[in-house]
Structure 1
């Protein structure tokens, strides 16, 4: 990325490729290969847009490199402007693609200002003041600025998984590398340097080698991150209830087993069941019933703290796992949930119809298994149904005291 002139010969024809040019032809080939990899990954991912943006970025880099290496178009001015535009687009899409993985973006204003500034600067320092050194500064420092803006918005990755942190620091290093690389090699470039000499200069070689090395490292990390994202998506699909977005039975048991192995105390469990749900389905239809379940799940999830786990176990029953919570705290939370459900107005139901839910609450005992705790809160839930519904039943420290044979509908 240097805003150089075309390498065409004085007779207007492209010269024979030099050893340096043959070497640097590897960079567009590698970029095109990674672009293809991103496109393949995008077909396997639900969040495909950012992968397509990254593919476009690497394709633009390949195109820009070929424009410079092959001297197409042969007019030196057009070659400089077109290659600068392609490089600017490449960097803008790279920043936008990496940000897109985190649900962020550069923003339209930043993209327009960056592109116009870089291409406009190249035009001015070619046609207005033919200064190759100024063009080097404009293109390289302009690209660095775009990447640094993206890096500043990526700081949230520092709180993520190790792969996220590797991606952030590598991306930041790539952005910062434009400055020392330009300063260290600019001594090999002078204002009167011809196009052919520039194309074989140490600046040109250093530029492409460092860009290729950083590009390979960044692409590999992005591909690994995208693969891990896909694995997480598949795991989430396997463990998530599609109707409510809460964990399903499988997901709950995985989380519960992990907490049981840790044996951290206190730990409490809440069972919640929507009252008279079958009647709601029969009277208003399954669409209305689904709406009740979605809204109930949303109300429950809204009251949870970090670390709490809510799941839909099937039908109208929910389980909420509360690490670090004793029975009194769990009871208070269940009461909040009960009141929130009771006072909520549900679309598609008769005016004045109240939806209520019953709750069973228990704290895990010292030698109690998770399965026994779940059975105990289930019995407490039956008791809440038996005692009139729309209430919270809290377990004692003696499991047998919680037993009841009442039905729950």
Structure 2
């Protein structure tokens, strides 16, 4: 049974490694580190089966190197996956120090007991700091499961080292040999393998959750500006079937004579103008605002619990800053403005789109009145109205 298990374990770990490398190709960035780590771990477990007799010394050195490298990669994968600082030099320095101590007990002062204990202790200490660094960056249930599985690997490794040292004495090879032929040794190896298997499954689950979340974000956000798109806005909008009715106000705006910008200077320049207005909206509106690009140069925002008059003041700040922007540093020396319509959520609205429809009517009035204005409930607020014929004026 032990022989079958010894053959099966490297195969399972290698399979997980290949799967993780494949997940990297579909957007799971730490997949390369998890994949290489599990492949190196599989190689470490397979080494005794492939090395010929007489290579025990070389096999011990290589196996310890492979396991330490695998745990360095596990720790690095955790840090990358959770967006934590990687401290590559510090962690590599710790791994090299651990390996040098292991080499000392293999080459200089041979002691199998100390070699095995030092190697396993080094594995636990290489993974534990990464777990500590990412503990506050958990985003979902699968992240919790992954962190729990990694913690279990560390705890099991430390417990196994403690029990191994308890059951063996000094440098006695007889006590070490007796330990490794015992049923408990097999049980400890089996438990360690189960913990590694559980960590691999949790990595797989967390990876799938990350990829799904990434694709969901891409589906709900505009790739040019990073704002919500129409679908994302509708999903984040309040439910008007609830009681009481959601409160707040909506804003709709667009860039005046934007077609002239695209026609005269190209779509790349037009994209820069769109990004500039989107950035002003994100910077000026409160964090609670749901800001979306509905298409082309048109933007919509819903700000909960804010009166229309206050939102109109913020909109005018955006309008003023956008109109004052100096585009001469770019490829086109022009003056570009924007127009805004504001409406409050009102009794009788069946959805957010009822308020947007009213705000769109006020935006149309701003256009009729000469553009570069903020109109709330049909009144121009603080706008500077240029002559309507000056659509895009050269400076």
TM-score band, normalised by the shorter chain? 0.7 to 0.9
| 1:109 corresponds to | 89
Q: Distance in 2 between matches of 1:88 and 1:238?
A: 40
| 1:4 corresponds to | none
Q: Secondary structure at the match of 1:156?
A: coil
Q: Following TM superposition, by how much is the alpha carbon of 1:199 offset from its aligned partner in structure 2, in angstroms? A: 4.3
Q: Could you say which structure has the greater relative contact order, defined with CA pairs below 8 angstroms and 6 or more residues apart?
A: 1
| 1:135 corresponds to | 115
| 2:353 corresponds to | 371
Q: Distance in 2 between matches of 1:161 and 1:228?
A: 8
Q: Following TM superposition, by how much is the alpha carbon of 1:360 offset from its aligned partner in structure 2, in angstroms? A: 1.2
Q: Following TM superposition, by how much is the alpha carbon of 1:276 offset from its aligned partner in structure 2, in angstroms? A: 1.7
| 2:385 corresponds to | none
Alignment TM-score, normalising by the size of structure 2 = 0.86
Paired residue for 1:254, among 235, 254, 262? Answer: 235
CA RMSD of aligned residues (A): 2.5
Alignment TM-score, normalising by the size of structure 1 = 0.84
Give unmatched runs, 5+ long, in structure 2. Answer: 379-387
Q: Following TM superposition, by how much is the alpha carbon of 1:56 offset from its aligned partner in structure 2, in angstroms? A: 0.7
Q: Secondary structure at the match of 2:30?
A: helix
Paired residue for 1:75, among 42, 55, 80? Answer: 55
Q: 1:328 to 1:69 in 2, by over 3 A?
A: farther
Q: Please, which moves more after superposition, 195-204 or 247-256?
A: 195-204
Is 1:149–2:129 an aligned residue pair? yes
Q: Please, which moves more after superposition, 124-133 or 65-74?
A: 65-74
Trace 1:10-409 onto structure 2 (pairs within 5 A): 19-43=1-25, 45-47=26-28, 49-68=29-48, 74-104=54-84, 106-158=86-138, 160-190=139-169, 191-193=171-173, 197=178, 199-201=180-182, 204-256=185-237, 258-262=238-242, 265-346=246-327, 347-351=329-333, 353-369=334-350, 370-395=352-377
Q: Distance in 2 between matches of 1:31 and 1:247?
A: 40
**Contact 2:121–2:157 (CA under 8 A) maintained in structure 1:** yes
Q: Deviations over 1:223-253 (max 9, x none)?
A: 1121122222222232222222222222222
Q: Secondary structure at the match of 1:157?
A: coil
Q: Distance in 2 between matches of 1:261 and 1:98?
A: 43
Q: Secondary structure at the match of 1:34?
A: helix
Q: Secondary structure at the match of 2:96?
A: helix
**Contact 2:78–2:131 (CA under 8 A) maintained in structure 1:** no
